[in-house]
Amino acid sequence: MVSRPPPKVQVTGRFLKQAALWAEKNGYMSDSQNWAEALNISPENLSLWSANAPDGEPLLVWCLEQGHIEVESYLNWAQTNLELPILDSRFFSEGLDASLLDEAQKSSLWHPWLFPVEKWEEVTIIACVELPREESDKDFRYVLADPRAMRQAWQNASAKSDFDAPIGIGKGPTVPFVLNLDAPVNVEEAPQPVGVTSKSNDTIDELFKTLSDRFHASLILKCANNQAKFLHWDQSFKKIQANFSIDLNTPSFLRIVYKTGMPYHGYLMDSPAHQEIFRNLGLSSIPECVTAVPIKRAEVIWGILVAFGSEENQKLEFLSFAEKATAHMVSALGAEGLKAS
């Protein structure tokens, strides 16, 4: 990473000056003028918080952790203004590669509010609360995250690395949890073709109708044997290639959902794999927002619901809406109905 001179921070009032100088001193691009005004923070509060914030920790991070600023409100604002996706907080307890975090804690580049969480081919995904001031490595991609979840993960990793066994008791080799995206996934074998019941059709139609209130288009993919195929789709898709099969061993947003069992929500990086997926859906470009929710049957990955929208859909409320609609469909169909669909 190449250092560059700190940017000049413009301030519109005396109350912002202290926060701006603090941010510059500690090496972060926290433009307090922007988020303070956007979140309707009073000059008095910002001045007080700036004075109380500890050295070495970004003012914004401290305010969010202390509850002075509502995390969801900030993340929604930052997602729009920084044009970054938001990482689901469950990732830090369920899907984080512990070896990455162990390695990050050995470097002064990383902190509890800024550290790598995933590697995807040559690209490293960095979780952050705000973008660092230093110029980023060309292979870094940033995602926004709740600083409370990030700090908890950081502290948990520190506690494990600092553990010393009592004398006479060997710790033994450390075996960190590693999210191996190439490992086999516990999914059911592709079922033999069966008739689709009218109940299944009605329930899926209801799902698409519900999603159409919030999203531009939606479809369901069936996952089996490391492959995903288009199974059901709404009337928005006019030129879909129904026989197209997606290799879930190839890096894509679908692979992430399939391997982690967690949703994906936000913008997509442009890649040959993503271009091929959307080309076979009959779309000329990658949507501004993609929401992908895993569909589980008996706790195994059965399929994935995918919905598309505009930049407005990047707010967390749209992910929650899609998750609830998917859960309602699964509940209405039941295990046998889901298998038959």
pLDDT tens-digit readout, 49-81 = 888 888 888 999 999 999 999 999 999 898 888
Which pLDDT score, from 0 to 100, does residue 25 have?
Answer: 40
Average per-residue pLDDT for the chain: 77
Only one residue has tokens 């950081």, namely 154
Mean pLDDT, rounded, for 207-225: 94
Candidates 278, 258, 279, 280; CA nearest to 268 is 278
Which pLDDT score, from 0 to 100, does residue 336 have?
Answer: 60
Which pLDDT score, from 0 to 100, does residue 8 have?
Answer: 28
Least confident of 9-23, 38-52, 199-213: 9-23
Which pLDDT score, from 0 to 100, does residue 335 have?
Answer: 59
Query: Is 127 in the same domain as 233?
Result: no
| Contact (CB, 8 A) for 112 and 158 | no
pLDDT tens-digit readout, 107-116 = 888 999 999 9
Q: Which three-class secondary structure state does DSSP give residue 78?
A: helix
Binned at pLDDT 50, 70 and 90, residue 177 comes out as very low
Query: Is 241 in the same domain as 283?
Result: yes
Q: How far is CA 186 from the centre of its chain?
A: 22
Question: Which of 52, 79, 106 is a domain's end point?
Answer: 79
Binned at pLDDT 50, 70 and 90, residue 37 comes out as confident
Residue 297 bridge partners (DSSP): 300
Query: Is 34 in the same domain as 153?
Result: no
Binned at pLDDT 50, 70 and 90, residue 182 comes out as very low
Instruction: With a cut of 70, say whether residue 17 has pLDDT above it.
Output: no
User: Quick check: is 147 in a domain?
Assistant: yes
CATH number of the domain bearing residue 237: 3.30.450.40
Structural domain span for residue 18 = 14-79
Query: Is 130 in the same domain as 105?
Result: yes
Question: Which of 79, 104, 128 is a domain's end point?
Answer: 79
User: Quick check: is 125 in a domain?
Assistant: yes
Candidates 296, 291, 295, 289; CA nearest to 319 is 291
DSSP per-residue letters across 272-291: HHHHHHHHHTT-SS--SEEE
Binned at pLDDT 50, 70 and 90, residue 2 comes out as very low
Domain count across the chain: 3
pLDDT tens-digit readout, 270-317 = 888 899 999 999 998 899 999 999 998 877 889 999 999 998 888 888
Query: Is 116 in the same domain as 237?
Result: no
Mean pLDDT, rounded, for 151-176: 52
Query: Is 211 in the same domain as 138?
Result: no
Which pLDDT score, from 0 to 100, does residue 97 have?
Answer: 79
Query: Is 335 in the same domain as 234?
Result: yes
Q: What is the largest CA-CA distance in the chain?
A: 70
Which pLDDT score, from 0 to 100, does residue 12 have?
Answer: 31
User: Quick check: is 184 in a domain?
Assistant: no
